[in-house]
Structure 1
């Protein structure tokens, strides 16, 4: 039987009207219909990310830790540099009543919303969280369970309500670096699972766009130890929610990250720590359809002494980190608490070379060499020197000194991965052989950032006698073009000095700190205040040229004396 075409048109019109009315009546459904990204796609779209550290997470106020107020200009700068997302850590403690009902101050909540809106207006995805509260009061959960849970729940109830209608480009992270005082690993995982489940239930139950907003759940300590990864995976599986992501943090192999125990280079152990860390996260989550956000990454020494990790070794670390993140499909968010971008001027990055390497690593690989320095004696014959090429999947194009290309054969040779500078070329590049860098060579590869190689003339450094206190001792030092790599501290009986007496090699920036501008090496309170009374301590300074210089210090009461040995 043939249907009346007018009836069919009327039916279609009615159906369309019904659909429109239905979507209008249900904002959540309308929003869901517009969403075309899975959690994996959305998190991938956030790569690369940046942290607005030491700002809304500072206490008691936003500017208390030395950074200016966050502005739209700041976020526009971040977006213009290629970042697609920003993690905005938020500490709520000082803006919340300490007793039930744990009310968050309206002015603070409005400021957090304002900063989020500024980031959104700059076309950035945004991740907000509960940050330093993790150690201020959440860590007390083992001894004060009910109060901590009540406060946590009250916090997220208010945050979820405030951001109920925020775009899906806003993500929530339950808690930063969760930790629990005096608890076993099993207890920590159980407590965190309880908080994550509570967070999930509160946010999902608050409706609006929170019904399917991406929620980010951390491991204990945001660590990629397998037991913590497995615990979080089981949690996420039990929640049966496709809009969840996992988060971990990565600050590298600890001895390398702070320069302790003699780990001064991006050696095999340091590389395998990085590779294994990202592999475990990818296999546990990403390979099973759960996206992973590396919510913070960097080097721990940035908080102590910028020079603790040598520049070339630092660049190798970030080059490989970016590659591994891409290979494993992990989204990374660089930790910047004011260390990297000059937020006062929004001008240059404080280390443009570091930023260039990190930015390049988001899309490609860069070649490097075994060292970024060639040390030449200030006097005497100069001999040929070799470095190992780390091509990292690129091919080597050659060497340049400024605008001039060095000549293969005459200036250098390449045999496999062995790059050898001829004696004649090094003699020419050393110029008058004054102490320090006399030439900067660029090794260029088929992709990525050119690798700088510094030609340096040096003499063995000379230390002089000094007197100080258990607060510090400044050793007058003629560095003679050289730089400190690490320092050992041992007593005559063979035992190691405190702190960290499990190793003779002390931590750069905490036990000692070279000052090339002031021609001195300072021994710091953490070392000199713990020295044995009237017992000579022998220090051995290791320099990047390979030179070693010994020095002896003795403590008598509050006085510390140093002598050449």
Structure 2
């Protein structure tokens, strides 16, 4: 059974790596806050990936976009996340929880200032996982706009919308990264979720051997948004100097991550 488990873990990690690029450094220069029983304080990226084990996605909760304020968490019919829920997930053998978070409905002003109550709630859920010595993946989730000209807070991977997209991504990540910068390597950032050309014929698929000009432009924009997010996170210092960061390709697909140009 042990060899089967290792093969399954290897498959899961290989799939994850195929769909995103993990940007990590030698973590020996991080002043990580050691957890009880911690053996990975100075571990490298590969060791951390192996230690992450099986992952579980807390979907349709903090990423839900109905309602307003803190009520958005339950707007897609899931109950409010509790410590008991995360404890149960841990007891079933999961060691990593991905916490998708949508931010567009929780920002205000030209600088996209995040509501402090929303940040506090996200922290509360992250801490539920930390109390179980689990890894957490935190991201920008349903904040892709419906089109390049759509109003509201968010981003769209097209050159005509790049300026406003960059402003949103860098503003949100600067606040998130600053807020969580002292958390140790068990917290992993994912820059974007499924960045794509919503509302076009290329939303979920494109021919990677004959890439349409629209998609080439989108890939270029995604590259730049990923890099801006990484630079913004790194610039906040502390443990963010070497934190693992996931950077998706076009629509977070295998094609999007293996196509020439990503």
Band of TM-score, shorter chain: 0.7 to 0.9
Residues 1:46 and 2:52 are matched in the alignment: yes
Q: Kindly state the Cα deviation for residue 40 of structure 1 after the two structures are TM-superposed.
A: 1.6
Q: Deviations over 1:387-446 (max 9, x none)?
A: xxxxxxxxxxxxxxxxxxxxxxxxxxxxxxxxxxxxxxxxxxxxxxxxxxxxxxxxxxxx
Residues 1:225 and 2:255 are matched in the alignment: yes
Bigger-Rg structure (1/2): 1
Residues 1:118 and 2:128 are matched in the alignment: yes
1-structure distance, mates of 2:257, 2:62: 32
Residues 1:209 and 2:220 are matched in the alignment: no
Q: How does 1:532-547 map to 2 (within 5 A)?
A: none
Structure showing greater relative contact order (alpha-carbon pairs closer than 8 Å, 6 or more residues apart) = 2
- The equivalent position to 2:77 in structure 1, one of 66, 69, 72, is 66
Secondary structure of 1:30's aligned partner = coil
2-structure distance, mates of 1:30, 1:175: 26
Residues 1:105 and 2:115 are matched in the alignment: yes
Q: How does 1:165-564 map to 2 (within 5 A)?
A: 165-180=182-197, 184-225=214-255, 228-232=258-262
Q: Deviations over 1:508-544 (max 9, x none)?
A: xxxxxxxxxxxxxxxxxxxxxxxxxxxxxxxxxxxxx
2-structure distance, mates of 1:211, 1:202: 10
Residues 1:154 and 2:160 are matched in the alignment: no
Q: Kindly state the Cα deviation for residue 217 of structure 1 after the two structures are TM-superposed.
A: 0.7
Q: Residues 221 and 73 (structure 1 numbering): CA distance in 2 closer, same or farther, change over 3 Å?
A: same
2-structure distance, mates of 1:87, 1:226: 21
Residues 1:91 and 2:91 are matched in the alignment: no
Q: Kindly state the Cα deviation for residue 173 of structure 1 after the two structures are TM-superposed.
A: 0.1
Tell me the C-alpha RMSD between the 2 structures.
2.1
Q: Kindly state the Cα deviation for residue 39 of structure 1 after the two structures are TM-superposed.
A: 1.1
Q: Residues 43 and 62 (structure 1 numbering): CA distance in 2 closer, same or farther, change over 3 Å?
A: same
Is the contact between residue 158 and residue 218 of structure 2 (CA under 8 Å) also seen in structure 1? no
Please identify, of 175-184 and 162-171, the stretch whose mean Cα deviation from structure 2 is larger.
175-184
Q: Kindly state the Cα deviation for residue 231 of structure 1 after the two structures are TM-superposed.
A: 3.4
Which structure shows the bigger proportion of residues in helix conformation? Answer: 2
Query: Under a length normalisation based on structure 1, what TM-score does the superposition of the two structures give?
Result: 0.35
Secondary structure of 1:172's aligned partner = strand
Query: Under a length normalisation based on structure 2, what TM-score does the superposition of the two structures give?
Result: 0.72
2-structure distance, mates of 1:199, 1:214: 13
Unaligned runs of 5+ in 2: 1-28, 35-39, 67-71, 147-153, 201-212
Is the contact between residue 142 and residue 180 of structure 1 (CA under 8 Å) also seen in structure 2? no
Secondary structure of 2:159's aligned partner = coil
Secondary structure of 1:31's aligned partner = coil
Is the contact between residue 30 and residue 238 of structure 2 (CA under 8 Å) also seen in structure 1? no
1-structure distance, mates of 2:256, 2:231: 26
The number of equivalent residue pairs is 204
Is the contact between residue 31 and residue 238 of structure 2 (CA under 8 Å) also seen in structure 1? no
Is the contact between residue 135 and residue 179 of structure 1 (CA under 8 Å) also seen in structure 2? no
Alignment-derived partner of residue 14 in structure 2: none
1-structure distance, mates of 2:257, 2:241: 30
Q: How does 1:29-44 map to 2 (within 5 A)?
A: 29-31=30-32, 35-44=41-50
Q: Kindly state the Cα deviation for residue 223 of structure 1 after the two structures are TM-superposed.
A: 1.1
Q: Residues 227 and 200 (structure 1 numbering): CA distance in 2 closer, same or farther, change over 3 Å?
A: closer
Which structure shows the bigger proportion of residues in strand conformation? Answer: 1
